[in-house]
Structure 1
């Protein structure tokens, strides 16, 4: 069973367009492989295009599988200091405001009891590495992950301490398995009470049931009063599929696989071609 907590109510340079577009759009942007290269590089064109879209009055929302602590530096690079971020594949929504002591506050947190899923997954993958997220801090893990894969503080604990309290997500890492093998395993054991997505390696994110980037963005759309037809999403991974289907205009990056492309309305250039720039520049 999941629960929700809402702590608060509330190349060439692209010159920002005048504020006040005909209609403000809600634009959900994946980060890795969409805005940042796989080496973590943010191009000047992407930076300027995102700034121009926000300056025009659009709601530019970073929507990532990354945790809060890994997303705030990206928001800073993009110059996004106000608005919203969707973290942890939709489990955490944050309101950005430079007037706040930390520059952000938690808006909604969706959690679940990870014990049943962790027990099932350990039985299938006894040699895997497991981690659970502590919001704004880092992760508790049964073993350290490779350097650079997880951000924040890392605390190694006994396996049963991973379910000491409800969490926003579980991460499973099993390098000896292919993504296809991982997906088949997940389908076979029947993770019916959670939502899961298999990433670019044998990596799985397990979230509360029904929680995705799309569910968090839809909540923001309603809150901001954006028309459903004025929604845009750009992404490249399997955890972006629901978001691309949700948006009136779902755009897959050019390097995305057939599953992701099939969920989109259109395909833009690859990350090496700064494909997100064309989408951002096309906004009214």
Structure 2
């Protein structure tokens, strides 16, 4: 076994294939990593309810869980460690920006559920907001939205696809969440591995001891990684575990 003690895995485009499935090969090697004493942690932009079934299927019922890009850190499923919310005022402003671009899709994660263009809760303080997002395959529209967002204060911008923008509170990233998890399990960032494919993975990939980009990752993510593994259709996660974590 290598010297790594934490393996933080993105879900979509990384551990999951294009049908949102975990291959038997990936599952097998994740189990081998756990058997060798490595803490495996799901680290995703998904919300808790969406991420939990995958963590449970992988046998990670006692492992930390990072969701909404670090907006929530769970010590283990069912036991919240830290939550960082977007202010109501920020979300209303993000929503007004979305309304100025009616061709774009938008969504928002809250502790009460997901709201989007078809189902919006309106101007209410009854919701604790975690993350806001925009989606548009017209890159000019997406660039216009991002340009405006970059002029605002208090936001962390990333993406989970070339066609979206994800908005968290400033300073909330998978990197800061993984650092928190390292503290929970008693290891250093140098002993952590982060694997991902999108800009919401980039800070973590740059911050840990071994940052891994998937073969299908965005070019900027590949450029920031220590190594590039196979794609999410080639069991790239299993390759990382075999070659770098367990070294077998």
Q: TM-score, normalised by structure 2?
A: 0.88
Q: Which residue of 1 aligns with 2:72?
A: 92
Q: Which residue of 1 aligns with 2:10?
A: 30
Q: CA RMSD in A?
A: 2.2
Task: Show CA shifts across 1:175-216 (max 9, x none).
Answer: 3522x6414531344132111213325322211111011111
Task: Show CA shifts across 1:116-173 (max 9, x none).
Answer: 34156236424444333233x52133x33xxxxxxxxxxx235424x65441111223
Q: TM-score, normalised by structure 1?
A: 0.77
Q: Please list, as runs of the form range in 1=range in 2, the aligned pairs for 1:180-219 lying within 5 A after superposition.
A: 181-189=141-149, 190-200=151-161, 202-219=163-180
For 2:141 and 2:98, how far apart are their aligned partners in 1?
A: 15
Structure 1 runs not aligned, ≥5 long:
1-20, 97-102, 145-155
How many aligned positions are there? 242
Q: Is the 8 A contact 1:34 1:235 kept in 2?
A: yes
For 2:212 and 2:143, how far apart are their aligned partners in 1?
A: 24
Q: Alignment partner of 1:214: what SS?
A: helix
Q: Please list, as runs of the form range in 1=range in 2, the aligned pairs for 1:51-66 lying within 5 A after superposition.
A: 51-66=31-46
Structure 1 pair 158/107, CA: closer, same or farther in 2 (3 Å)? closer
Q: Aligned match of 1:256 in 201, 217, 242?
A: 217
For 1:68 and 1:34, how far apart are their aligned partners in 2?
A: 18
1:160 pairs with 2:123: yes
For 2:2 and 2:164, how far apart are their aligned partners in 1?
A: 42
Structure having the higher Rg: 1
Give the structure, 1 or 2, with the largest relative contact order (CA under 8 Å, sep 6 or more): 2
Q: Is the 8 A contact 1:24 1:57 kept in 2?
A: no
Higher helix share: 2
Q: Which residue of 2 aligns with 1:229?
A: 190
Structure 2 runs not aligned, ≥5 long:
none
For 1:24 and 1:241, how far apart are their aligned partners in 2?
A: 19
For 1:176 and 1:35, how far apart are their aligned partners in 2?
A: 24
For 1:108 and 1:129, how far apart are their aligned partners in 2?
A: 29
Q: Which residue of 1 aligns with 2:81?
A: 107
